[in-house]
Amino acid sequence: MEIKEFSRVMAREVSDKLGKGIDIECSEVLKNNGVVYHALTIRKEGECIAPTIYIDQLLERYNRGTLLMSLVDDVVNMYRKCAPATDTNIDFFDDFSVVSQHLFFKAVNYKKNMKKLENVPIKRVLDLALVPLALFEHPRLGSGTVMIENSYLDIWEISKDELWENVVECASKVAPPKIRGLMDFLSKVTGNEEEVDELCGIYVISNTAGNLGAGVVFYPGLLQGLADDHECNLFIIPSSIHECIVIPDSNMCTETGSLRDIIREVNRSTVADEEVLSDNLYMYDRETDKFFIVKEG
């Protein structure tokens, strides 16, 4: 069964299970780097908040033999677990004095996300886009992130520059930076907690949540401080949208051309499509405080 037909069938069956007063919409959700997910948006009459349940993996389960009604029950249970209360109120998002305390940003590939970012007050950095976000924490809705759109600036009656002044000031508090030695990072990822020799001066930089943390390298003074500690320039490898690897150039033992090839190969073979940041290798120049792409050749 194809995904569009599966969406329609699931919407009909879930609607029958939930009964009257529920509207179900089949939608395509554009994610990072142009990746499209398929979802059911389930809205209770009179509610402004509607849970979105992705069904791509459910189709895979169906094609592997899982009974359709079992998948329908799974969706119904997910909806009932995350459906908001009828009195949920999100008016707090209209107040910039409140929202301004919850701002941070992520880094994404600009070219791969041009369509998604058309109505977003981004900041461009080379081939990347810095995207303003608000950390969403609500006693009923739970936590998540909201991408700031241009229309919000009109509601808040602020300019793009004013928004970014608040984003930059608040980011390190909302999403604090975390700098770890490479081997320490790998031991946590692999689950191997045995003591290992550090690869001295090679760092993984993210935020404390380890999510959407590659933009941390653009926190004011972070790269400057690391470069001053090592008294040299820094190479930056865009590992994913979640973290970057930073290598002082005094510790660089690989030709930059080979390193670029490795970045591209890892992006194609290991990193999920929606988590790829860039195929480029970057350098931070300590003297000029500039961040630039290392050119080929």
CA–CA separation, 230 vs 250, rounded Å? Answer: 8
Q: Which domain holds residue 119?
A: 91-174
Based on the fold, state whether residues 245 and 143 are members of the same structural domain. no
Based on the fold, state whether residues 197 and 288 are members of the same structural domain. yes
Cβ-based neighbours of 44, under 8 Å, separated by 6 or more: 21, 22, 23, 50, 83, 86
CA–CA separation, 261 vs 79, rounded Å? Answer: 44
Based on the fold, state whether residues 102 and 201 are members of the same structural domain. no
CA–CA separation, 25 vs 173, rounded Å? Answer: 37
Query: Where a domain ends, among 157, 174, 191?
Result: 174
Based on the fold, state whether residues 17 and 100 are members of the same structural domain. no
CA–CA separation, 59 vs 71, rounded Å? Answer: 9
Based on the fold, state whether residues 190 and 271 are members of the same structural domain. yes
Based on the fold, state whether residues 67 and 97 are members of the same structural domain. no
Which parts of the chain register pLDDT below 50? 87, 185-186, 189-190, 192-199
Based on the fold, state whether residues 273 and 190 are members of the same structural domain. yes
CA–CA separation, 63 vs 71, rounded Å? Answer: 12
Residue type, 40: L
pTM for the full model?
Answer: 0.80
Based on the fold, state whether residues 144 and 103 are members of the same structural domain. yes
H or E stretch covering 192: none
Domain count, the chain: 3
| C-alpha separations of 30 from 35, 98, 118 in Å | 6, 28, 13
Based on the fold, state whether residues 72 and 8 are members of the same structural domain. yes
Based on the fold, state whether residues 62 and 127 are members of the same structural domain. no
Query: Where a domain ends, among 48, 82, 116?
Result: 82
Based on the fold, state whether residues 121 and 182 are members of the same structural domain. no
Based on the fold, state whether residues 271 and 205 are members of the same structural domain. yes
